[in-house]
A and B are shown apart, each in its own frame.
Chain A
């Protein structure tokens, strides 16, 4: 049975019994032993004394060799029960007189081991040897042998007492310890019970009853604390579980919702795809459906004209020509509308191919010669020798140039339409510049502003007078955009206009949008060098969202937007780009908006660029005192911003116009239309 596994009660009792027994045993044993030893010593002395007396008394007898007397003297030992033998030896060791009550004989010869006087314990007997001397002279040796019966008796008695005592004490100790061990074991057992109950019933509300102040008491307290904590945790756990359940349910519901939403989205997507396909189909069909009858009208009228020419009926010819003209006009309108629809629907795609530029130019020119001649215009063409081929959508390029040249011819009377094509390198990229210049009626600034916007034909009178749909430039503009190029106009009313188209020699499909980053300047496409950039707006704001929103908004207005989140970079860009206008956020990282404003206004090159401060804090007076042109509080009112920008534009153009009449075309008021919008 392993000691460790005994119950506390048993252990305690065992400990108590063991310790008390051992103590008892040791103490009583040592006492008894001591007693026995000293008793023996006593007996020994006694015997010795006896021997001395007997020796003395028998000395004379020994001296006189009086055996009877000697024997008689020895016989006196009868009085002592414990002496079993006494022998008087002659000096030479022979037995002289004997006393042997039990009949046992004494040793005949003095054992050589013993000296004349001494003690010996042997064979259960105690022998004392004593010299018998008379008046100093040894006359013999006396041997007294005792069975030490007194001692044995005593020892036996002691043994009995000892065992009885031990036994009795043991019992008593047992009793006492069994009673007293409860002091320790009871609380432990109670605790054990409590623990068992708690774990059996999983009931953490139970507490151990603690009436003890000792370590066990503390143990119980600790246990109770633990239970309390477990209870708390349990409760918390249950709560958490409940919450979890409800959350799970919520989540499940959400998931169901999401799934539903997803299904709906999927449906919507399918619907959208269907719609898309429908749109494409529609456009394709419409394209065909619209053009077919019109072709018939134009075709027949052409045919009739030919036939009528033969007959010579002038009037009829004119009528037919009118029909033709109307039809052609209608056709071009339809074509333009369809193109724009396609563009709006996002269905207009680029078909890039390599083609030779000079032949295309020639083709256009030859096509438009009649139109030019009709107005008394002369077409001049100059294609630079280094211009050979380009990679672009040939149809679109043709359409663009055709549009420009035809416009030039339309709006010029007895003038010159010159076409210039040359390669340019801007910031390491190869471009082709197509310039269409006329000496026509020119375009007013107001008109210029609206030029590339669809449906904003300068004014209806012009279209009536000059024909055209008003959509051509818008479409051209879009096409140039698609090819990542630039189109701009220079014009002086009454003097003429110059349209410039910049296209990359290698057109690449529209670049994917780059994700914005805070400090990085956001501009799509390369930055052509200074001079082109009047209609750029520089947005300085550390909030990417703001930059994004501003860009979208402003580019929809027709501006090119450069945005940055860093004040220093903003200043640098301003110098390079010379924007029309700067919007500046007051709260910038690293460098505070006011200091940026100050720097801009202190810089000669930049000081006349209007700065609109945008901020969340109302600080108009400070802004204006520092030189801000305007001040807007975020969130920005779009209309206000637009009108502010327009105001500045007008100021700018008027100021530059007023002072610029003598300058060359390069200095003339330019409207540069961004062809690559920051955000589509």
Chain B
């Protein structure tokens, strides 16, 4: 069962997303801020990380950057979840090293597809 690390500060979003993903068959680990996210990424070795960008203290970009520069964690695919769909955000996401992004509010179906896609890729590589 693939493990997904969900880094999201909003409790309701966390709740919704985690439950839906669990029902989809993923095991979920949750972090409510960037620091925790980094810690858990190293300790839990998830197969995929869903990164909310609008985090308190350290924002999602920074977290992703650190994850991607850390040899332990850089191989883990990251999907950035951003409230904006601007080209600049998209560009930033890819510059930082996100493997994909999606907009909030999440359209669950779409997100699931992206997750599956990345996990398949990962397993193949």
Q: Do A and B bind each other?
A: yes
User: How far is the CB of B80 from the nearest CB of chain A, in Å?
Assistant: 17
| Interface presence of B108 (CB below 8 A) | yes
Interface SS majority for chain A: helix
Number of A-B contacts (CB under 8 A): 44
Q: Is the Cβ of B88 less than 8 Å from the Cβ of A306?
A: no
| Interface presence of B57 (CB below 8 A) | no
| Interface presence of B92 (CB below 8 A) | no
B87 contacts which of A300, A331, A351 (Cβ < 8 Å)?
Answer: A351
| Chain B residues whose C-beta falls within 8 Å of the C-beta of A139 in the assembled complex | none
Q: Is the Cβ of A299 less than 8 Å from the Cβ of B83?
A: no
| Chain B residues whose C-beta falls within 8 Å of the C-beta of A298 in the assembled complex | 105
| Chain A residues whose C-beta falls within 8 Å of the C-beta of B16 in the assembled complex | 296, 299-300, 303
Q: Is the Cβ of B86 less than 8 Å from the Cβ of A395?
A: yes
User: In the complex, which residue of chain B has the Cβ closest to the Cβ of A331?
Assistant: B105
| Interface presence of A292 (CB below 8 A) | yes
User: How far is the CB of A566 from the nearest CB of chain B, in Å?
Assistant: 45
Q: Is the Cβ of A299 less than 8 Å from the Cβ of B85?
A: no
A405–B99 Cα distance when bound, in Å, is: 31
Q: Is the Cβ of A395 less than 8 Å from the Cβ of B85?
A: yes
User: In the complex, which residue of chain B has the Cβ closest to the Cβ of A398?
Assistant: B85
Which B73-92 residues have a C-beta within 8 angstroms of A?
83, 85-88
A288 contacts which of B17, B83, B88, B108 (Cβ < 8 Å)?
Answer: B83
A306 contacts which of B20, B54, B104 (Cβ < 8 Å)?
Answer: B20
| Interface presence of B117 (CB below 8 A) | no
User: In the complex, which residue of chain B has the Cβ closest to the Cβ of A291?
Assistant: B105
Which B1-45 residues have a C-beta within 8 angstroms of A?
10, 12-13, 16-17, 19-20, 23
User: In the complex, which residue of chain A has the Cβ closest to the Cβ of B91?
Assistant: A353
Q: Is the Cβ of A303 less than 8 Å from the Cβ of B86?
A: no
| Interface presence of A257 (CB below 8 A) | no
| Interface presence of B106 (CB below 8 A) | yes
Which B99-125 residues have a C-beta within 8 angstroms of A?
104-106, 108
| Interface presence of A302 (CB below 8 A) | yes
Q: Is the Cβ of B87 less than 8 Å from the Cβ of A353?
A: yes
Which A276-306 residues have a C-beta within 8 angstroms of B?
287-288, 291-292, 294-296, 298-300, 302-303, 306
B13 contacts which of A295, A307, A394 (Cβ < 8 Å)?
Answer: A295
Contact with B along A405-433 (1 / 0, CB 8 A): 00000000000000000000000000000
A378–B33 Cα distance when bound, in Å, is: 46
User: How far is the CB of B17 from the nearest CB of chain A, in Å?
Assistant: 8
User: How far is the CB of A126 from the nearest CB of chain B, in Å?
Assistant: 143
| Chain A residues whose C-beta falls within 8 Å of the C-beta of B54 in the assembled complex | 288
A331–B107 Cα distance when bound, in Å, is: 13
Q: Is the Cβ of A351 less than 8 Å from the Cβ of B10?
A: no
User: In the complex, which residue of chain B has the Cβ closest to the Cβ of A355?
Assistant: B87
| Chain B residues whose C-beta falls within 8 Å of the C-beta of A395 in the assembled complex | 85-86
| Chain A residues whose C-beta falls within 8 Å of the C-beta of B86 in the assembled complex | 351, 395
User: In the complex, which residue of chain B has the Cβ closest to the Cβ of A298?
Assistant: B105
Q: Is the Cβ of A394 less than 8 Å from the Cβ of B87?
A: yes
Given A331-B105, A395-B85, A395-B86: A299 and B13 interface contact (C-beta under 8 Å)? yes
User: How far is the CB of A349 from the nearest CB of chain B, in Å?
Assistant: 10
| Chain B residues whose C-beta falls within 8 Å of the C-beta of A331 in the assembled complex | 105
A394–B13 Cα distance when bound, in Å, is: 28
Q: Is the Cβ of A306 less than 8 Å from the Cβ of B105?
A: no
| Chain A residues whose C-beta falls within 8 Å of the C-beta of B17 in the assembled complex | 299
| Chain B residues whose C-beta falls within 8 Å of the C-beta of A294 in the assembled complex | 105
Given A353-B87, A394-B87: A307 and B23 interface contact (C-beta under 8 Å)? yes
User: How far is the CB of A280 from the nearest CB of chain B, in Å?
Assistant: 14
Given A306-B23, A307-B23: A299 and B12 interface contact (C-beta under 8 Å)? yes
A287–B85 Cα distance when bound, in Å, is: 14
Q: Is the Cβ of B108 less than 8 Å from the Cβ of A302?
A: yes
| Chain A residues whose C-beta falls within 8 Å of the C-beta of B104 in the assembled complex | 291, 295
Q: Is the Cβ of B87 less than 8 Å from the Cβ of A291?
A: no
User: How far is the CB of B24 from the nearest CB of chain A, in Å?
Assistant: 9
A307–B16 Cα distance when bound, in Å, is: 12
User: In the complex, which residue of chain A has the Cβ closest to the Cβ of B24?
Assistant: A306
| Chain A residues whose C-beta falls within 8 Å of the C-beta of B83 in the assembled complex | 287-288, 291
Q: Is the Cβ of B12 less than 8 Å from the Cβ of A296?
A: yes
User: How far is the CB of A455 from the nearest CB of chain B, in Å?
Assistant: 26
Which A336-361 residues have a C-beta within 8 angstroms of B?
351, 353
User: In the complex, which residue of chain B has the Cβ closest to the Cβ of A287?
Assistant: B83
User: How far is the CB of A351 from the nearest CB of chain B, in Å?
Assistant: 6
A292–B16 Cα distance when bound, in Å, is: 12
Q: Which 3 A-B pairs have the closest CB atoms?
A: A295-B105, A299-B16, A296-B12
CB pairs A–B below 8 angstroms (12 shown): A291-B104, A292-B13, A298-B105, A299-B106, A299-B108, A302-B20, A303-B16, A303-B19, A303-B20, A306-B20, A351-B88, A353-B87
Which residues on A are within 8 Å of B, measured CB to CB?
287-288, 291-292, 294-296, 298-300, 302-303, 306-307, 331, 351, 353, 394-395
Which residues on B are within 8 Å of A, measured CB to CB?
10, 12-13, 16-17, 19-20, 23, 54, 83, 85-88, 104-106, 108
* Given pairs A299-B17, A303-B16, A331-B105, 7 additional interface contacts (CB within 8 A): A292-B10, A295-B104, A298-B105, A299-B106, A351-B87, A351-B88, A395-B85
